[in-house]
Amino acid sequence: MSERIGFVGLGIMGKPMAKNLVEAGYDLTVYNRSSKAVAELVQQGAKAGVSSADVASKSDITILMVPDSPDSKAVVLGENGLLEGAASGDLIIDMSSIEPGVSREIHDRCNEKQVNFIDAPVSGGEPFAISGDLAIMVGGDPSDFKRAEPLFNVIGKSAVLCGQSGAGNVTKLANQIVVGANIHGLAEALVLATKAGVNPETVFDAIKGGLAGSNVMNAKGPMMFERNFKPGFRIELHYKDINNAAKTADQLELPLQVTANLQQVMKALVGWGEGGNDHSGILSYVEKLSGVTVSNK
């Protein structure tokens, strides 16, 4: 643990990830636009930075966890950004879920200053960020991946090097398509069961051990029939990822029908003011179309 670690972006995902690093004994300097989150981490043993550049100047490896591509570009490349404070040989790890092309752009800009960069988006939402069980998908140089592995072992339960720069975010987009399609399919299944007069929780219990069973079903099914849409991963963030998947598909001239459908479903939910709900709230879209409300009551 001789390397000094920085962390920028202490939101719903970043804060528990940073806490796990502090608890693991790392020398951690943190920065966030909201001072409340910084103060909370300082109480846990972290040090406070005054800007992204300041954090990078005090760290050998800096992690950022921000909402989208423009945020990553601003934090790394912008005024008082990480690249201003980073020294040659430092490593920047972007664990945000952004466009693969933006990851490659940031990587190239960092390399001009002899600063190493990898993209390492995660899957698992807030619950797995808290427990340290995130799945981490990495794009970059194998030597940088090896250097980051001890941190990944604290933050997640698995970390896979998927290829060169941008490959981590390509993999994350693939993950989000699969997760979104599973949630939408599960929502339709439970609406069907409810309309047919069968308790949706009973259907869930009956099928979860078969081929239809999945981590998505286990996590999101109970939220649906218990009508608990407290966000572990918000619809608006999943919508952002699906938009990035659609952009990437367009660049590759790929027709992705399920992705296009998910984009429209999530666009409607965000437009209805439901973007702050957990993505299990895709159920709401199916319910509105069908006039059926799912509940185990």
| pLDDT tens digits along 25-59 | 999 999 998 889 999 999 999 999 999 999 999 99
SS3 68: coil
Which of 205, 201, 189, 182 has its CA nearest to residue 279?
182
Residues 6+ apart with CB under 8 A from 125: 13, 219, 232, 233
- Helix-strand-coil split of the chain, %, nearest 5: 55, 15, 30
| pLDDT tens digits along 256-267 | 999 999 999 999
Residues 6+ apart with CB under 8 A from 80: 51, 52, 53, 54
Average pLDDT over residues 187-207: 97
**pLDDT confidence of residue 1:** 56
Told to judge if 172 belongs to the known catalytic residues of this protein, a careful annotator would answer yes
Catalytic choice (15, 19, 47, 172): 172
Average pLDDT over residues 125-145: 96
**How deeply is 271 buried, as exposed, middle or buried, from its count of CB atoms within 10 A (0-12, 13-18, 19+)?**
exposed
Range(s) of the chain covered by CATH 1.10.1040.10: 170-290
Which of 200, 181, 127, 180 has its CA nearest to residue 157?
127
What pTM did the predictor assign? Answer: 0.92
Q: What is the DSSP letter of 203?
A: H
Overall CATH class of domain 170-290: mainly alpha
| pLDDT tens digits along 152-174 | 999 999 999 999 999 999 999 99
Residue 232 clears pLDDT 90, i.e. is over it: no
124: left (phi over 0), alpha (psi -120 to 50) or beta: left
| pLDDT tens digits along 269-286 | 999 999 999 999 999 999
Range(s) of the chain covered by CATH 3.40.50.720: 5-164
Rounded distance between C-alpha atoms, residue 120 and residue 161, angstroms: 9
**pLDDT confidence of residue 297:** 80
Rounded distance between C-alpha atoms, residue 105 and residue 222, angstroms: 41
| Arithmetic mean of pLDDT over the chain | 96
Which of 216, 214, 213 has its CA nearest to residue 238?
216
Token readout for 25 is 């004994």
Residues 6+ apart with CB under 8 A from 212: none
Rounded distance between C-alpha atoms, residue 32 and residue 7, angstroms: 9
| pLDDT tens digits along 107-131 | 999 999 999 999 999 998 888 999 9
Token readout for 179 is 């997760």
**pLDDT confidence of residue 143:** 98
Rounded distance between C-alpha atoms, residue 221 and residue 194, angstroms: 13
- Give the CATH number of domain 5-164: 3.40.50.720
**pLDDT confidence of residue 2:** 78
